[in-house]
């Protein structure tokens, strides 16, 4: 009778749901937002990498006789005010814009993760000092700081990457700190402390693997913001200096001739919109995939 009773015990609903949860790769393939955004991002990255082969013209080649020509067979996206091919400049602009976006987010992730993890793990006065430093940094007007930096050191791609990356770390630090605080009472952290594991080992061996989902989601969403920041700075002449083509700089170049040459601004603007939407789709999709309460069962 006891054996029969044990066989009739119902498996709790969370256990059954966990056992039916598909593997990560399948959840990624089933998520339409992740797949749609990934296709756009992979295609854009491929275009950026193969810019030399895909661009039909020299992006900085000027033919003044062809200035402000509309889209045609010779120039699919038309030409700008200096006779440069808009399609070629947009292709090369993808390399600059994506490079600045991903590189700056890498800096943001490293700095923000390190500060947030140390603050959340250490607690007490270390947490207070680091978080007050983050609060002070947030209060600094970023645009005015950039004007000062550009006035002293001049504008360059490396400076822009470093500035965007460092200026965005407070948000990443706060997110990581909150997640670390939720992980500290877990059994695996307590067990590691009991057996005498050092603080660096606990942070990098036990905490970081559990932080990867939130870091990926946050980082993916920040790529779009970084690309928009680069475009905005280039629009005001504070980004990558000319003649290097950037999407923001191309939009700025076409604003004075928008009434007679809409294509100069429209096509790089559409490329910027498409990539930013794609990064947001991937970020939202990854959040659903990594969150067991939001992901759908197969």
Whether residue 276 contacts residue 227, with contact meaning beta carbons closer than 8 Å, is answered with yes
Q: What is the pLDDT of residues 257-289, one digit of tens each?
A: 888 889 899 999 999 999 999 999 998 888 888
Whether residue 123 contacts residue 208, with contact meaning beta carbons closer than 8 Å, is answered with no
Whether residue 49 contacts residue 99, with contact meaning beta carbons closer than 8 Å, is answered with no
The single residue listed with the structure tokens 């600045």 is 100
- Dihedral angle sign, alpha carbons of residues 143, 147, 150, 152: negative
Rounded CA-CA distance 83/67 in Å is 4
Question: Average of pLDDT values for 27-56?
Answer: 89
Q: What is the pLDDT of residues 212-245, one digit of tens each?
A: 888 988 888 888 888 888 888 888 777 788 778 8
Rounded CA-CA distance 237/75 in Å is 26
Quickly list H helices, the chain: 2-8, 13-20, 24-30, 32-49, 51-54, 86-122, 124-139, 142-153, 157-167, 169-183, 187-194, 199-201, 208-235, 247-254, 263-290
As a CATH number, domain 24-290 is: 1.10.3720.10
Strand-pairing partners, residue 85, are 79
**Where are the domains positioned within the chain?**
24-290
Question: Average of pLDDT values for 18-46?
Answer: 81
The single residue listed with the structure tokens 């069962």 is 297
Rounded CA-CA distance 163/166 in Å is 5
pLDDT score for 293:
59
For residue 10, which phi and psi values (nearest 5 degrees)? Answer: -80, 140
Rounded CA-CA distance 155/146 in Å is 10
pTM above 0.75, yes or no: yes
Structure token pair of residue 252 = 């700025």
pLDDT score for 259:
84
């Amino acid at each position: 009778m006891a054996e029969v009773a044990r066989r009739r015990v119902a498996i709790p609903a969370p256990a059954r749901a966990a056992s039916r949860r598909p593997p990560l790769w399948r959840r990624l393939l089933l998520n339409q937002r992740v797949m749609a955004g990934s296709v756009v991002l992979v295609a854009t990255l491929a275009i950026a990498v193969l810019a030399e082969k895909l661009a039909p013209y020299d992006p900085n080649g000027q033919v003044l006789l062809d200035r402000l020509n509309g889209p045609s067979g010779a120039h699919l996206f038309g030409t700008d005010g200096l006779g440069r091919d808009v399609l070629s400049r947009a292709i090369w602009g993808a390399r600059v814009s994506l490079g600045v976006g991903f590189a700056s987010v890498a800096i943001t992730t490293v700095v923000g993760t390190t500060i947030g993890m140390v603050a959340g793990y250490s607690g007490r006065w270390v947490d207070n000092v680091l978080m007050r430093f983050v609060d002070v940094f947030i209060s600094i007007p970023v645009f005015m700081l950039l004007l000062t930096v550009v006035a002293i050191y001049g504008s360059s791609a490396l400076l822009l990457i470093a500035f965007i990356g460092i200026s965005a770390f407070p948000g990443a630090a706060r997110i990581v700190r909150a997640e670390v605080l939720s992980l500290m009472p877990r059994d695996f952290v307590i067990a590691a402390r009991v057996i005498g594991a050092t603080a660096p080992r606990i942070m990098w061996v036990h905490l970081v693997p559990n932080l990867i989902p939130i870091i990926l989601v946050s980082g993916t969403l920040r790529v779009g913001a970084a690309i928009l920041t680069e475009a905005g700075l280039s629009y005001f002449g504070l980004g990558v200096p000319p003649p290097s083509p950037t999407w923001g700089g191309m939009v700025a170049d076409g604003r004075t001739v928008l009434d007679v040459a809409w294509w100069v601004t429209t096509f790089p603007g559409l490329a910027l919109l498409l990539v930013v939407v794609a990064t947001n789709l991937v970020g939202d999709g990854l959040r659903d995939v990594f969150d067991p309460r939001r992901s759908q069962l197969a």
